Structures are given as structure tokens and as C-alpha cells.
Amino acid sequence: MQVLLAVISGGYAVGAALNWGSEEVAEIMGDFGLSAAGLLAAVSCYSYARAIDSRERPAWLLFAFSSLMGAGGNAVWGWYEVVLGQPVPKPSLADFAFLCFAPPAIVGLLVLAKRPVTRAGWVCLGLDSWLIGGSLLTLSWSLALAHAARTAQSGAPGSVPRAALSLAYPLLDIALVSMVLVLHFRRSESNRSAVNTAIAALALTVLSDALFTSPLLSAEYQSGQLLDAGWFAGSLLLAYAPWGARRIHPGLEPAGHARGDRPHSRPITGSLPALTPYLAAAVCTLGILYNVVDGRKVDRMVVFTGCTVVLALVIRQGIMLLDNIALTQELAQKENHFRSLVQGSSDVIMIAAPTGTLRYVSPAAAGVYGREAEELVGTELATLIHPDDLGRVVHEVRRFLAAPPTEEPTTRIECRFKSGGGEWLNVESTVNRHQGGLILNSRDVTERVRLQAQLQHSAEHDPLTDLPNRALFTRRVRQALTGRRAGDHSTAVLFIDLDGFKAVNDTIGHQAGDELLIEAARRLQDSVRAGDTAARLGGDEFAALILGDGNRDRSAREYQVREIADRLRTTLSQPYRIGGSEVRVAASIGVAFADPGITPSDLMRNADLAMYRAKAGGKDRVEMYAPQMQAEVVRKAELAGRLRTALHEGEFALLHQPVVSLSTGEVAAVAAQARWRSAQGILFTPAEFLRVAEYSEGGAGGAGGPGGAGPDPSRTAELGRWLLEEAVEQAADRHRAGHDVPVAVRMTAQRLLDRAMPLGSVEALLTRHGLPSGSLVLELAVSDPRVPFDDLERRLTALHRLGVGISLDGFGSGYAAISALRRLPVDMLKLDRGLVEGVVESARLHKITAGLLRIANDLGMRSVADGVDLPEQVSALRAMGCTHGQGMAFSGPLDEYRLRRALVRGTFPVPGGAAQPALAGGSPGGSMAIRRGSHNETPVPPT
């Protein structure tokens, strides 16, 4: 568009310079050509005014009207010259149209001007306009207009209208030029390109008008001459202004050229608005001097105009002086305000030059850095930053300065800053741009960084031993498997458990246990190599990460790691001096290697499995992981999974094993035992499923460990409830059928006191099924010394009053047999199977068993031997005073049908015949409680 505009304007100028080849064409192009250009400008400005919706619309409508008046004046001029072939009369309708061109344009320029916000601003706008217009009027009057005025005063016919017309053109042009200059210094920021183009178009039109009205050209002007090219180009430029100029709307400026970041104006360009009044006064003075030097009499018009210009300049300068005084006071107030803010701020504010030299440092530096602000001014910023942080800081500053300000106005940098005492402070700085340099708002965050480090350390370390905790240990194992050591398969993980630590807590207290753990952690930390990691995983469980040395020989690496593990085991098993006494614990250690493709979780699980295998193998030993360990865990997990659904699927069956009098062979009671007949038809004995079901309840350890792999306590409780309810219900049925034989149900002390078992549930069960007093015996297993005997005594006493018999199960094993005999209402003692099995072969066991039976007989209690499988055992036990026996020597566990047949028969053959006991005891009959202490029960005969 710009090239096309230049070509058309240039072509018109060339044609006008050559007089278009003929007078007729010159007149047509000089009149109707200019009319067409003006009409085009009018249509363009009008269309643009309708397309926009802003405060600029009235200005472009006024420009359209001005162009329309110019087009109308040229059309009338052409009508006289081209159509009628007559000279244009003066004055004429064309003159009226031409005179109507300037006023709308002047008003339009005022609309586009930046509006003052105060009354003083409006006054200054009017004074600036008069300063420019008055100075031009003085100069024009001195050069040409005075002559036209004197002509009008001569009184010749027709001279007054012609003189007035000759004065009107330049006066309107002077007013238009004044507005053009004022607008140039006060133009609005919006659509700047279009406004500048419109100003240029009007300026070109005014220049052509000035040349036309000058005495040198006005007398010889003819249509189609070169002067018309100025008007033609001005009209085309005004038509092009709203559409062709590149417009930049607010918020769409290119990056790096936002309003606040435009390059600073040159000093001369920026001073032109301030110099305008003085330039106008100078022009006015030149007009007066021209008359004086030329020897002319100074015209009163010139003197009047010059005086008004000087007066306007004085008024304007007075307003500016008052404005400057107000601005100076406001600036001083703001300066004091910001100085108070900077000096009173606890943050250190520094200004660095583009070279990195500090130009200003706020007084807060003395309190924060321990260095006076004057001492830091002139210092290179790089010399104050820690060398390890300098590269990172320089990189961040360069990146920040290269980024567009609109996208990243500020950045934040944290580094170490040298204080006056020589130590390094952690400093956080907010950085802003400032004239090519930087403004840094800095604060001391050393305490925050120290606190963060402490929190990080606390989150990753055990609070008691200060060793890495499970989270940090897991992360380091992951780093060892995925970092530069990823291909080193000699890396190993050791899981360590302190055997006997629970007894330390229970006997001498938790405080002593904590001291032991601290000492064990110290020994562990001192025993591992530099670069390895020792950690506490929780409780009495520790772990160690042994980094490999790249050795691919499996036997060599196993030997090396085993040697380390044995050394750790020996060190941890040394006596501990706690509270003036010597305490001993042992260590079970499991070892797993980082085999190819293993994950951190699998590696730690393998070490855990090996550790549980070490504990199961006798404790105080080192066990290397083998794949079959995981297979065993999977098998137990599958069994536990099937056990979870067995109760709901009705796969459990209740069997009863007779308890027989060793003297008469009579059935004195039946012991209830659960059997699991799986969906595959396999009948599992308690030796196969109860060790899983009761692992967490029987005191053997936690069911959640890899060695237990059993169900949760809720499943165990559910199985116990089912066993008790089923046994009571079947006993009630047998009682109604005439078989008054007590049923013995095994129950642990922990289960009896479990809050999940509502108080009074046993009593309610007896009432619901109508089981008479003396028909239920609870075989109590007390294997955990932590059982509260006070609560247990109260519970058993309440049950004993209702006629529930109490049998102490597993007598001769466990922790609390003597305390139970002393405090609990026990009716019977049930010998542990381990004593019965060796009573014939072992003289030592024979004496121990005889002593226990003597205690039972002296206390007036009945005794039951569990696991009596051989006739020799029957004879030996009967001779030692045992009253009753249970085992394959009489019968295995029976289903309900076979049990009732046995009860009808009433007796079993007694090996060796009937005999009287050596020691007096209770009667053979009566309420009895039977169940073995271990889970190696008598196998079930084929059914």
C-alpha cells in the first residue's frame, strides 16, 4: 500500500510538472482529480469511523467532512473552468467550501489530542496554541497579510471581499498548523501510527495552502500545476491513514517493547515540547525585527499580537513555575517516604550497576551482614558471593536479563553471602531490572535454611538412634540399584533383628530398652564400612546396605558379605551394660544380594525373609536368602487366603477326642477340635492350619511377618467364636440325647480378655443353648507373661461361679504356670505333649513329669495327659498318679456319629488293666478340660 501510494502520488506530480500534455487535461486533473482524491479520503475516513467504537470516532468523522468540503470546492472550481469555460469568480461557492475545510480538521485534531486532567492543563493547551498561532500570525502579517489588509482599507470596489478572502485562507491555515504542532507534542498513545499519518496529511495540505496564498504564486496559479500534487498527495495520505498504517493496540506490544520499557527519547527530542513557547516567542520577535530592520513602520497588529504572545508566555511560565513547585514538593515528599521505607526496612536493598559494582546499599546491611553500607558501596557483587554458588548465580542473572520483562518481571536467587565476621550467611534475594543493572532486595534466611535442614534430617532419621530411617534407607537402596552402581550385583542388604529384646523391655523396662537400642545402633554404625548405610527400620529391627566392589564371583561376594554379617552378629551379641547390670541379646541377620533386574522393594523383602528364616532356625545366626524362601511364603499366603473363606464356605468341621480315665477306661470328657475339609477334599489337621490361624494369638510372634503369613486377628477371633459356639451347641444336643459328658474347648488368655469378645458372651451362649452347669470346660493357655492376671482372675472367677470348669493347658511349658496356679481358679492341669512323649525313654522327663503330677495331686486337682499314644505311656503315667489321658492309645478325634457310638459303649480298654493310682487324686469322673498345648495333634483316622 505504501509503495502504491508513492507511485500514484509520484505519477500525479510528474504529470503536473509536464502540464499533462495539454491545457484541457491539466484543468481536468487539477480540478476533478483533486476532487476525486478528496472524495476518496472522505469515504475512507467515514468508513473507518463507522468500523471503530472508541473516542476517536468523532475525529475521523470530522476529517471525512473536511475532505468532503475540499472535494466539493475542487468540483465547483472544475465546473467553472472545465464545464463552463469561465474564470472562477471571487468570492464563489468554491471559496466557501475551501474555508469549511480547516475548522472540522482543527476540531478533529483537538479530539485526538491527549486531554489535560487539570484546569491548568487546559489553560496551557490554549496558551500553547496561541503561542504557535500568534507567532505564525506575526510572521505572516509582516510578510504578506498586512498588504492584503491595506488593500481592503483602500475602499476600491470589490476589494473588501477579496481582501477578506485572502486573509481567511492563511488565518485558517495558521490555526490548523498550530493544532498540528500542538497535537504532535500532546497526541494520544492509542493508534499512534494512524494519527501520525493523518497529521502528516493535514500538514502537507496546509503547506500547499500556504504556497497558494503567497503573493509569489497566487497571481500566476493555474489548475493542474505542480502545486496541485501537494493537495493530491495530502488527500491520498489521509485516505490511507486509518487503514494502511500499522496499529499497535494496548497489551499487544511486541516482547521487549512494552510501554514501560521503550527506549528513552533523545534529550533534544524530549525537550522540544518545553522549547515550543520559546521558539514561538522567537518567531514573533523575528517578525517585529523584520519590520524594524526593513525600515517599515511597526504595524499595530504586529505589536498587539506580539504583546499577547509575550503575555501568554509569561502566564504559561507562571503556571509551569507553580506546577514545578508543586511537583518538587510532591517529589520531595515521595523521596522522603521511600527513603524512610528503605532505611527502615529489615531487608537489605542494593543497586548494582551493569558491571556488577554496588552503587547503593541500604543501612540495613549493618544489622543483616555485619558490614556498614558505605563499606559495601563500590564493591564487586561477585566477591561477596560464595565461590560454590557464584556460577549458578551468574547463570541465573544472565538468563533473567535475557528474558522478556513482560514474561518475567522479577526472579529469586538464593546463595551464600559473606558477612563482616567472615562466616557465610544464607541470603534470599528478589531481583528486578534497573537501567541495565539490578535491584536486589535481600534478606537473611540462615535460620530458615538451618531449620529446613533439621526438618529434613528429622524426616529421614530415627529420633532415638539418629540412624537413617526406613524412608532414607529405601531411597539409598534405590540409588544403589539405579545409579552408576546399577550393574554391580555384589551389593547386599542385611536385615537385623535383636533376639530377646522384647524380654528386656518386659523385665527391666522400656527406658533400658531404649538405651540398649542406642548402644546397638552405635555398634552397628561403627561396624559398617565407610560408604555403607546402617539404618533402624523400627522397633528392634535394623538394616545395613553393603555397597559392592564390582566383584562378579558369586562365591567370593557371598563369603565377603557373610564375613561382614558374622562380625555384625558377634558385635551386636556382646553384653550390654544397662543401668549397672549386664544385659544380653542376640542378633538374627538375613542377607540378600542385588541380583540382576531386582527392584529395591524385592531386595528388601528378600533380606526380610532371610532374617525370619534365621529366627526360625534357632536365632543368633546369619541366613542367606534363597528363592525357596519366597516359595514357602507364597504357599503360606495361599493357605491363609483359602483359610479366610473357609468359615463362610462351611468347610470347617468339629471333631471330638475322648478323654479317658486311666484307671477305669471311662469317657470323662470330650475335647473339641476343629478340622478343615478343603474344597479339594483334603482334611487339614490343626498341625497344618492352626499354626497359621493362631500365630498372632498364641504368643509366637506377629502374624504379619514374613515367617507368619497368617490371617489377621479378626479372622482368628472369628474361628475361635465358631469353635466355641459349635462345641456348646453340639454338647447341648448330646445332653438332650442323654450323654452328660463335658466338652473341653481350648482358649487363650489373650482371646478371653479380648475386647472384641463382648463381656458375658460365654454366659449368653450357655443360656441360649441350655447347657447345664459343669458341662463346659475352658482349656486356658497362658503363654504370654504380659497377660494382666488381675483382669484374667476376675473373668475366670465369674465363669467358675457359673459352673464352667477351668483347665490349665500346656502345664510344664510356657512362662506363667506357677503364677496361674497361685492366682487363678484352676480345676485341672493338662500336661504338655512334650513331657508325655519322652516320659518312658527319658529318666529326666520322667522325674519332671512325676513332680508336676505330685503338685497337681497335692492341690487336689485332676490331671490330664495330652498325646498318650502308646500303652507304655499309659502305664507310666498311671503309676505316677495321672488321672486321665487323651490320645491314640484310646481313640483319635471322632465325628459326631462315631462319638455317640463311643459314648453309648462308655469305656475304652486300658492297656495293662485296671490299677489304682500311686497317689491319691480326684475321682475319675467329673468336669474336665482337655486340649493339647502344641499343635502336633493326633492324626484323624480314616472316616
Lowest mean pLDDT segment, chosen from 325-334, 447-456, 504-513: 325-334
State the pLDDT at residue 181: 59
Mean pLDDT of all residues in 117-127: 69
| Between 279 and 840, the higher pLDDT residue | 840
Please tell me the distance from the alpha carbon of residue 713 to that of residue 852, in angstroms, as a whole number. 33
- Per-residue pLDDT tens for 308-321? 777 777 777 777 78
| Between 753 and 678, the higher pLDDT residue | 753
State the pLDDT at residue 908: 92
State the pLDDT at residue 837: 87
Per the DSSP assignment, residues forming a β-bridge with 661 are 884
Contact, 806 vs 762, CB < 8 A?
A: no
State the pLDDT at residue 168: 59
| Between 384 and 490, the higher pLDDT residue | 384
Please tell me the distance from the alpha carbon of residue 85 to that of residue 104, in angstroms, as a whole number. 32
Lowest mean pLDDT segment, chosen from 132-146, 293-307, 389-403, 750-764: 132-146
User: Does pLDDT of 279 surpass 70?
Assistant: no
User: Does pLDDT of 811 surpass 60?
Assistant: yes
State the pLDDT at residue 887: 92
Instruction: Give the CA distances from residue 264 to residues 190, 324, 571, 615, 650, in Å, rounded to whole numbers and listed in that order.
Output: 19, 22, 78, 82, 92
State the pLDDT at residue 495: 95
User: Does pLDDT of 521 surpass 60?
Assistant: yes
State the pLDDT at residue 245: 52
| Between 110 and 942, the higher pLDDT residue | 110
Q: What percentage of the chain carries pLDDT values higher than 70?
A: 73
Mean pLDDT of all residues in 503-531: 89
Closest CA to 516 of 470, 458, 574: 574
Please tell me the distance from the alpha carbon of residue 706 to that of residue 675, in angstroms, as a whole number. 25
Judged on CB neighbours under 10 Å (0-12, 13-18, 19+), 482 is exposed
Q: How confident is the model at residue 903 (pLDDT cuts 50, 70, 90)?
A: very high
Q: How far is CA 30 from the centre of its chain?
A: 76
Please tell me the distance from the alpha carbon of residue 815 to that of residue 182, in angstroms, as a whole number. 109
- Strands 437-444 and 348-352 come out as antiparallel
Lowest mean pLDDT segment, chosen from 341-355, 652-666, 677-691, 741-755: 677-691
User: Does pLDDT of 924 surpass 50?
Assistant: no
User: Does pLDDT of 926 surpass 60?
Assistant: no
User: Does pLDDT of 172 surpass 70?
Assistant: no
Q: How confident is the model at residue 251 (pLDDT cuts 50, 70, 90)?
A: very low
Mean pLDDT of all residues in 412-420: 88
Residue 62 has what DSSP assignment?
A: H
Mean pLDDT over the full length of the chain: 77
| Between 688 and 129, the higher pLDDT residue | 129
Residue found under cell 528392634: 540
Residue 461 has what DSSP assignment?
A: B
Mean pLDDT of all residues in 872-879: 92
The C-alpha cell that represents 503 in the structure block: 524380654
Lowest mean pLDDT segment, chosen from 130-134, 229-233, 329-333, 642-646: 130-134
- Give every strand in the sheet of 533-538, ordered side by side: 533-538, 541-546, 492-499, 586-593, 622-624
Mean pLDDT of all residues in 709-713: 45
State the pLDDT at residue 671: 94
State the pLDDT at residue 604: 92
Residue 118 has what DSSP assignment?
A: S
Lowest mean pLDDT segment, chosen from 45-59, 761-775, 857-871: 45-59
User: Does pLDDT of 404 surpass 60?
Assistant: yes
* Host H or E run for residue 411: strand 410-418
Task: With H, G, I as helix, E, B as strand and everything else as coil, classify residue 3.
Answer: helix
User: Does pLDDT of 543 surpass 90?
Assistant: yes
- Per-residue pLDDT tens for 613-643? 898 888 899 999 888 888 877 777 777 677 7
Contact, 866 vs 812, CB < 8 A?
A: no
Mean pLDDT of all residues in 422-431: 88
| Between 667 and 252, the higher pLDDT residue | 667
- Cβ neighbour number for residue 87 with a 10 Å cutoff: 9
State the pLDDT at residue 885: 94
Q: How confident is the model at residue 329 (pLDDT cuts 50, 70, 90)?
A: confident
Mean pLDDT of all residues in 599-611: 91
| Between 503 and 255, the higher pLDDT residue | 503
Closest CA to 238 of 188, 272, 206, 197: 197
